[in-house]
Structure 1
């Protein structure tokens, strides 16, 4: 009888220790800073005349001391630029560092601070090149750190809370801003000034942040992260791809210039359902004959650029972007060109991603 009681007490003690240890467990979240308005600083409390990427990640985090209550925070400064100056070199450096960190068992997730101008492009690039199902969350702000009602601190807190949650596993790369969780495959900046600028216009948000917890209402069905075929481990330079706008009376001038500059690919921001002027279309068809990949997208923010509609893509060797806007189409085409130049294979990628 004494032996049985001892075993019961021992089991209760082990259970108590297990509960106590797990109650105190905090996930480890790395914050990788790249600059942007969220790290901006001005001479006054209004948003005018500020400089993006002015403060360090440590200064940025000092405004959000409460994040230490939800996670163990480690921080690195990867870059400190306005995101209008984001470039391929920083993308490759950032993606490789994210993959390196997420291989570590003691790293539970990544938060990346980023300017809003090109945040959707960086998020999509990482969505295609990160090789982990651990959370990767991008965050920015529309107001600099010195502004009245700066939105950066709340956004950072929510981003860390999102990255620290087991609910965020396998969701792909997301952007957390203005209490919304947005999927990298559809996110678009819709307003030049509003703090609620980012939307997923075609599919809707993945979810919301509520009382410091992510609440997901959908998942992306597109291939991403661990299911992506793209690997930038040994890549030091991405193929050059340019975006060319179509409009009334657009000529072949910029297509010809891109071809002469030696680009590997061209994405058109067409009118309507990715339509382009006859002059541009003929120039692009000639570009395809010279081995340049061409993707048709649209300058319209919602709806697909569909195959086999007004433009006969097979006839010209073009690829239709479907729901990817011109800027994310450029990202996917650059990665596609690291593997193939066959337009049918590239079309498969644009259908799956």
Structure 2
């Protein structure tokens, strides 16, 4: 566990009271009596638990996306001293409902802000369930050195010990720091900074849910400073283009299990999947019936990528499965949900030949 001494000791009650009483807040000004020019950070709200409120349902129930990004910011003492902050709402949904339309809107707004030199950093408030997918999507399409930081929380704003205020404060620190430039899209929660390619949600409820099993974090928000573990390096590989409008091509994830037959694969093909990602057992394997169905799908032009349901490790080519013979690609380090995102983008860019797909997964 990393040191928690930096995290401001905000009470959930204070946070909630401020968030609910401020109303529609105007952008928060940082032109306080410092005499210095602070970084300009644009906060884009999408919803999620960080913006959640207690529900009338029994127990610990809550509704996601009820508090605006502007109100979240206004409720955190001292955050306006970190940067010049403006806030806009892109959506107000739980991240289980994240979709292509919101992704395209995020890209459009971020590109405009960067191209017009409006910002020195961007923070996106987001639910944790699909945060890693949104981060990885943005990593593959945004070509900028400006820090793009996703942040969320595991507890809603009404919970005792809400983690959202401290997480958002720390995300703002990362987004406004010069040393964050050129590091690609980052995810910041629980004092820890992760890279978009490696980060995963690994626990249903723990505030330490975000980890990078195969690489480790890229840095920490430590007492009084940011601590990156390695120098910034230019992102490798060309960024992928987006279509003029959503949706992206359909790619289905097929989850492998004991006693599996071909039905799920065949159904995905019938429903018009342009690509299939196998969340395979072990090293991306599956039953003979499922592998045979995937091979048949590949012959029909469906792009097939083998990934693993295990949660860490690499999927290797031509070990138990004859990928060269069957026309499959493998996901390497990418879990099924990230493999799906990349495959959607590749198909949208006309990259469907197995060797070309494999090269893209390796970049």
Say whether 1:251 aligns with 2:261: yes
Match of 1:162, SS state, is helix
Say whether 1:350 aligns with 2:355: no
Structure possessing the higher radius of gyration over alpha carbons: 1
Say whether 1:72 aligns with 2:88: no
2:323 aligns with 313
2:333 aligns with 323
1:230 aligns with 240
2:282 to 272, 278, 281: 272
Gaps of 5+ in 1: 1-20
- How far is the alpha carbon of 1:101 from its aligned partner? 1.0
1:106 aligns with 118
1:128 to 119, 134, 140: 140
2:194 to 182, 207, 213: 182
TM-score computed with the length of structure 1 as normaliser: 0.89
Say whether 1:211 aligns with 2:223: yes
1:283 aligns with 293
Stretch deviating more after TM superposition (53-62 or 183-192): 53-62
1:30 aligns with 42
Matches of 1:72 and 1:89, distance apart in 2: 28
- How far is the alpha carbon of 1:296 from its aligned partner? 0.0
1:10 aligns with none
Match of 2:333, SS state, is coil
1:123-164 residue CA offsets vs partner (Å, 9 max, x unmatched): 000010112111000000000001111000000000010000
1:58-109 residue CA offsets vs partner (Å, 9 max, x unmatched): 2211221311101000000000000000011111111221111111223101
Match of 2:78, SS state, is helix
Cα 1:317–1:300 shift into 2, 3 Å = same
- How far is the alpha carbon of 1:174 from its aligned partner? 0.5
- Contact 2:49/2:94, CA 8 A, preserved across alignment: yes
Cα 1:212–1:96 shift into 2, 3 Å = farther
Cα 1:81–1:219 shift into 2, 3 Å = farther
Matches of 1:27 and 1:294, distance apart in 2: 44
Stretch deviating more after TM superposition (207-216 or 149-158): 207-216
- Contact 1:32/1:112, CA 8 A, preserved across alignment: yes
Matches of 2:280 and 2:172, distance apart in 1: 38
1:165-212 residue CA offsets vs partner (Å, 9 max, x unmatched): 011001010000000000100111111010010001000000100135
1:294 aligns with 304
- Contact 1:161/1:212, CA 8 A, preserved across alignment: no
Matches of 1:221 and 1:313, distance apart in 2: 32
Matches of 1:47 and 1:36, distance apart in 2: 19
2:67 aligns with 55
- Contact 2:49/2:152, CA 8 A, preserved across alignment: yes
- Contact 1:207/1:214, CA 8 A, preserved across alignment: yes
TM-score computed with the length of structure 2 as normaliser: 0.87
Matches of 2:316 and 2:59, distance apart in 1: 40
Stretch deviating more after TM superposition (236-245 or 158-167): 236-245
- How far is the alpha carbon of 1:346 from its aligned partner? 0.4
Matches of 2:232 and 2:88, distance apart in 1: 29
Matches of 1:222 and 1:295, distance apart in 2: 27
- Contact 2:95/2:129, CA 8 A, preserved across alignment: yes
- Contact 1:123/1:175, CA 8 A, preserved across alignment: yes
1:281-306 residue CA offsets vs partner (Å, 9 max, x unmatched): 00001101111000000001111001
